[in-house]
Each structure stands twice: as C-alpha cells, then as structure tokens.
Amino acid sequence: MEFVTLYRPHRTGDKVPDEASLEQIKGGYGLKVKLSDGEFAAVLATDESASLRAFGLKSKGAIKCRLMRAGRPAEILGLEE
C-alpha cells in the first residue's frame, strides 16, 4: 500500500490555495502544489532503480523537490540514502 499526505500549515484567516495534483509516473509519483507565493513540485520514488521525470525534475530512485517563490531563484533539494 502506498499513500501520500500533504500538510498545509497556516494561520486561521490565511488564504491557502487548494490546488494540488498527484500523478502516478513510472517508478513513483509526481506531486505539484500551488502556494500563495509560488509552487512546490516533487518526484517521489517507489522504486529505487527507476529514473523519474515529472514537472521538469529528474531523479534516479530518490526524492527530488523544487520550491519556486515569486522573485526568488528556484530551490532544489534531492534526498538520497
């Protein structure tokens, strides 16, 4: 069984975008989330030998994330064992 949980911590009264998508891709999932000041995207591996590609991200069997905020350079983080 596989599952993905998306938490959106925020203060009462804050306007929080509710747009998010999860796509099954070869070897895992692609997650894309709209933020109030940008966008978050990730590839989530379910097979450590798979080459993942989604939303302009590439990874070999590991989690890779990209945070894009207005007026700032993209931040990319790869999580590997």
- According to the model, what pLDDT value does residue 44 have? 93
Distance of CA 26 to the CA centre of its chain: 16
- The whole-model pTM stands at 0.84
Coil, strand or helix: which one is 14?
A: coil
pLDDT in tens, 14-68: 998 989 999 999 999 999 999 988 999 999 999 888 899 999 999 988 899 999 9
Residue 41 in tokens? 């995207």
The answer to whether residues 41 and 32 touch, using CB atoms and an 8 Å cutoff, is: yes
Residue 7 in tokens? 């938490």
Domain positions in the chain are 20-79
